[in-house]
Amino acid sequence: MIKARIIGTGHYLPERVLTNNDLEHLMDTTDEWIRQRTGILQRHIAADNEAASDLAAHASQNAMKSASISAEEIDFVICATLTPDYFMPSSGCLVQHKIGAKRAGACDINAACSGFIYGLQQADALIRAGVHKTILVAGSEIMTSRLDWTKRDTAVLFGDGSGAVVLRADNGDSGVITTYTASDGGGHDILMVPAGGSAQAITPENINELNRGILMNGRELYKRAVYAFGDAVEQALKRANVRVDEIDLFVPHQANKRIIAAACERIGLPEEKIFLNLDQVANTSAASIPIALDQACAQGRIREGSLVLLAAFGAGLTWGSAVIRW
């Protein structure tokens, strides 16, 4: 049976770092307040001349180097992002051009923080169906472009970055075992950017009145996220027919340390099996899991044969998971 095997990982973080102490000078907050509620210590901020496709191109090139493949070998590029360079064209097309994948198709996926899982699922299905052999999936975000730096409920949470993986058709034991995705559009207003789309188009007349930043109902989001993380993990394990104690490493979306801890307690996953980089990169939305995957590989926490569990939750509302044999 053909499987989609991850043969390379890569990530890229912008050079500029903004610490919690820096934020104390921008808004009414403290380092202690941020750390206790989120677990975040710092985040990376994209330069003024960096767009989401630029970050994704860097991460993708690193992933291709890790996979020892050339750009010409890539059949398709999927870019998961909610902060694209433009509404049109897709950032995926820009990444395809910037990395030199001349014969690849390309598109974007917007499932917010669950975007990478959704992209992974699409890539897995295309490879299993025999449509493509080699697919690049990147998650890339410049979340700070959506922030109001006077609002500590959202401004302290997010950072910029990109991560990417290369998947290739393989008939061995390694590869994506299962994926799971779900959504609940009834909760769309719990976490959203109200203005900028067709529902609230920005015009010269209303540009100063519409909210173009992130709106979040933190209390409701926390409750939904704990449930969704648990559901995502339970579904993935059930579909993969594996027990939680068989998992070698859990790589969750890096949203909030308290949410991750609550979800892991619910499913009985010990702390030593969880990979966290939230303190250094904050919430990078769709880039979160692929950044963490590359860092976990570099640290030796993922090795050949490792059974890896992924799970994410995001705006939409969306959530999803995957089980992968490395």
Token pair, residue 45, equals 């901020």
Alpha helix locations (H) across 168-256?
218-240
Give the per-residue pLDDT at 239.
Answer: 96
Q: Would you name the residues annotated as active-site residues?
A: 113, 253, 283
The answer to whether 311 touches 320, Cβ cutoff 8 Å, is yes
Measured between alpha carbons, how far is 87 from 265 in angstroms, rounded to an integer? 40
- Per residue in 105-123, pLDDT (tens digit) is 999 999 999 999 999 999 9
Give the C-alpha distances (Å, rounded to integers) separating 33 from 44, 45, 191. 19, 21, 21
- Which residues face 8 on adjacent strands? 166
Token pair, residue 222, equals 């926390």
Place of tokens 């979160």: 288
Q: State the pLDDT confidence band at 65, using cuts at 50, 70 and 90.
A: very high
What is the CATH architecture of 3-172? Answer: 3-Layer(aba) Sandwich (3.40)
Sequence-ordered list of residues with C-beta below 8 angstroms from that of 322, at least 6 positions apart, any chain? 117, 120, 121, 176, 177, 178, 179, 180, 236, 309, 310
Superfamily of domain 177-325: Thiolase/Chalcone synthase (3.40.47.10)
Give the per-residue pLDDT at 153.
Answer: 84
- Per residue in 262-297, pLDDT (tens digit) is 888 888 889 899 999 999 999 999 999 999 999 999
- Per residue in 126-150, pLDDT (tens digit) is 999 999 999 999 999 999 998 888 8
The answer to whether 302 touches 325, Cβ cutoff 8 Å, is no
- Per residue in 234-250, pLDDT (tens digit) is 999 999 999 999 999 99
Buried b (16+ CB within 10 A) or exposed e, 191-209: bbbebeeeeeeeeeeeeee
Closest CA to 150 of 203, 211, 221, 194: 211
Identity of the amino acid at 196: G
> Higher pLDDT residue, 285 or 200?
285
- For the chain, residues classed under CATH 3.40.47.10 are 3-172, 177-325
- Per residue in 160-199, pLDDT (tens digit) is 999 999 999 999 999 999 999 999 999 999 998 887 777 7
- Per residue in 14-44, pLDDT (tens digit) is 999 999 999 998 888 899 999 998 999 999 9
Place of tokens 């299905």: 125
Measured between alpha carbons, how far is 326 from 302 in angstroms, rounded to an integer? 7
Give the per-residue pLDDT at 212.
Answer: 67
Give the C-alpha distances (Å, rounded to integers) separating 48 from 14, 15, 116. 11, 12, 25
Place of tokens 């509302």: 317
Looking at residue 1, what DSSP letter applies? -
Taking each helix axis as running N to C, give the angle between helix 257-267 and helix 218-240, from 0 to 180 degrees, rounded to the nearest 10. 40
Identity of the amino acid at 273: K
Measured between alpha carbons, how far is 84 from 91 in angstroms, rounded to an integer? 6
pTM of the model: 0.95
For the chain, the residue count is: 326
